[in-house]
Structure 1
Amino acid sequence: MSEEVHLRNCPKLRLFLRQLGKVATSLKVLTIGEARWLKVVEDFPFLCDNLSIIGCNSLKRISNLPQLRDLCVARYPNLRCVKEFGSLQQLWLGVAMQDVSSLWVAGLQGQHWMSTHGDFV
């Protein structure tokens, strides 16, 4: 299994991510782009370096990534739940994410030390 996976406009992404989370024991970087129907990214116990998700309009929840250190999110008007990040150190927020992220950033910061950066996309 590769240490990096980059997915863009993948129509079978929901099913693929469920399977990937179960078998990707050496995955360090996951990038997801323009997945219009994706609603949830969760249960990646081994993903450890970076998760970047850009332009997934239906995304509502990102959770249970206990080893992840960096999370980059942009263009998610419906993202309401981001939780269960035991090792998160940096959160990168895209342009216009301040209103949406106010629902969950404080909870993440309360779990551990984390720095937040804005306007990366």
Structure 2
Amino acid sequence: MKKAKIEIQEGFEIESFDKEKGEVTFTPKPMNIISRIKTIDDAVKILGDEDPDVKDYWKIESTGITSHVIWHQKLIVITKALNEGWVPDWENGESDKYFNWWNMSDSSSGRFSF
């Protein structure tokens, strides 16, 4: 039996090998979700144009609003894409959830303190 050594290009893996023809088929390795989403456009591509939050984003963007409203909607779309369908169960106190919290009672100047 003859042997051939094939170096697999980074980012790919062997999908199949046909022993009769000697053909090797490669496929891209699935990337981590964080590696795939770098922009709002990446998140929209993953969720699709029919997603309700993406539709809301397009509506807000079409109005020309450039304030915190559009940025908040962008964060909603990106977060939804990064969560890959996972939705936090806010009724379940056993599961960990994280959110911003500022304690401003000790701040004499009224600014944020960490």
Same fold (TM over 0.5): no
For CA contacts below 8 A with separation 6 or more, give which structure has more relative contact order: 1
Structure having the larger proportion of residues in strand? 1
With the length of structure 1 as denominator, give the TM-score of the two structures: 0.21
Structure number with bigger Rg = 2
Structure having the larger proportion of residues in helix? 2
With the length of structure 2 as denominator, give the TM-score of the two structures: 0.21
